[in-house]
Structure 1
C-alpha cells in the first residue's frame, strides 16, 4: 500500500458516484451473490454513513458488546467525498450535525454497553428513539443526510471531505482533488489524487514513519472468519 503501517484499504468516491453505486444492486444486475454493498438501507444493524464492499464468503463478528450482529464479511470501506462548505466554521457545524445524527442512529440500533451503568441510560435512549422513528429509520437516515448536504453545501465550496464519518473533523481544500494520477497499488492500477502526499501528510503527518513496535498491533473491534 501507500502507507507502510496501514492494514486496510479505504476508497473515497464523489457523492454522486457513491449514490450511483448504492443504487446498483449487484445481485440483480450482475447475478453476484458472493459480494454485497453494505449500507444502512440494506443491511440490518449496520450503523455507518459510509458503505462497505463485502465478500460474503467470510463472516464479520464484532468484539464490541454494544454492536449487534451484522450480515457482513471481509470488507473494504467506501467513503462518500462531499462538498464541505467554504469556511471551517461552517464545515464544523455540518460535522456536528452529522455527528449527533450518527450517534442517535447508533443508539437506535443498540442500547447495550460494556457496563450496566452505561447500559441503563443508553437503553432508555434506544427505546425513546425506537418510539420516535419506528422500525424504518434505516430507510430514511441517509435521505436526511443528503437533504442537509443539499441545503448547506454546493459545488463551489472551498472544502471537501467526509462529514458523515463522525470520528474526525477533516476538511480538505478542493484543489487537492482536482487532478489525478494513475499508479500501481498492490499489483493493480488505480487512480489517486495527484496531491496525495499533501493529503496524507495532513491526515497522518510523517505517514512513512513506522510507529513504535509496541503500537504495531491492529486496533479493529471485530474478527473475520471464513464461512
Structure 2
C-alpha cells in the first residue's frame, strides 16, 4: 500500500467524494448542507479551514434516510456506511467512503474504513429546553454504552464504568434501536439539531426554518449547497465564526491514510 502523506492529496480524495454526493443529491432531489467546520471554511476561506482535514454534511432526516437507502455511484469507488447495517461500526451516523483507500483510526480498530465524508441527519427536537436537556443527557449515556460495546478503547477514563457498560446485557442492535426511537422525531417542531453525537448538550440546536431551504456556497473553487439559514446556525453554534481562533488552537488532526494495493492514482489523476 502507498501512504497518503500530503494533506492536499487527502483533501482531493475527500472532495472527490463530496462531488459524487452532490451529483447524486442533485439527481435525486435530496437536500444536503455543508456544515460544521466545513461550512465555516466555506464562509471564511472559500474552502477548507487551512488547518482542517475533514468534511461534514448535514441532511434533514427524511433526506438522510433516502440517501442512505439509495446512494450509489456509477464507478464503484464510493460506498455509504449505514450504522444500522455495518457490523462493528463505531459511529452513529453515516459516512461515504472511498473504497480505494484505507484510513487507520484508533476508534475503528477491528473495522476497516476508507477516507470519508461525514453525513449527519438533522432531527426535530423538543421546543421545551428542559425536556431537550433530559433527552440530550440520556442520549449521551446510550452513546457511551454503545462505544464501550464496540470499541476496545476506554473513553470513559474509568475502568469500573467501562467494565460495567461493556458487560450490560444489551446488544449493539438493541442500543441502535433505543437511540433511534429517542432521537428520530417525525412530528415537526420549531427546533432541530444533529442528534447523532454525544456532544455538548445543546450545541447545534437551531430553528427548523434554518433548514427549510438551501443556497449555493463556494468551496474549493466549486459550488455546493448549504442551509438557507447558515449564518444563524453558525452564530448559534460557534459564536463569532469569522474570527480566527488563537494560533495554538489551529491544529491539524494527525492522519494515517493509504491507497490500497493496485488503487494508487496514476499521474495526472
Task: Summarize the alignment of residues 8-27 of structure 1 with structure 2, pairs less than 5 Å apart.
Answer: 8-24=54-70, 26=72
Question: TM-score under structure 2 normalisation?
Answer: 0.68
Runs of 5+ unmatched residues, structure 1: none
Distance 2:218 2:160 in 1: 50
> Residue by residue, what CA displacement relative to the aligned partner does 1:153-184 show, whole Å, maximum 9, x if unpaired?
44431210112221122211112223332233
Is the CA contact (8 Å cut-off) linking 2:90 and 2:151 kept in structure 1? no
Match of 1:35 among 75, 78, 101: 78
Matched residue, 1:224: 257
Unmatched 5+ stretches in structure 2:
1-41, 261-269
- 1:74 maps to 2:115: yes
Secondary structure of the corresponding residue to residue 244 of structure 2: coil
Tell me what 2:170 maps to. Answer: 133
Count, aligned residues: 212
Please report how far the alpha carbon of residue 124 of structure 1 lies from its aligned counterpart in structure 2 after TM superposition: 4.5
Residue in structure 1 matched with residue 182 of structure 2 by the alignment? 148
Cα distance in structure 2, aligned partners of 1:33 and 1:101 = 35
Identify if the C-alpha distance between structure 1 residues 91 and 121 changes in structure 2 by more than 3 Å, giving closer, same or farther. Answer: closer
Secondary structure of the equivalent of 2:256?
strand
> How far off its partner does 1:72 sit?
1.1
> Secondary structure in 1 aligned to 2:135?
helix
Distance 2:250 2:60 in 1: 32
Residues 1-227 of structure 1 correspond to what in structure 2 (within 5 A)? Answer: 1-4=42-45, 5=49, 7=52, 8-24=54-70, 26=72, 33-63=76-106, 67-113=108-154, 118-119=158-159, 121-126=161-166, 128-129=167-168, 132-134=169-171, 137-138=172-173, 140-149=174-183, 153-168=185-200, 169-170=202-203, 171-219=205-253, 222-227=255-260
Give the drift of 1:119: 4.2
TM-score normalized with structure 1 length: 0.79
**RMSD of aligned alpha carbons:** 2.7
Does structure 2 retain, via aligned residues, the 8 Å contact 1:39–1:48? no
Sort the Cα spacing of 1:180 and 1:133 in 2 relative to 1 into closer, same or farther, 3 A.
same
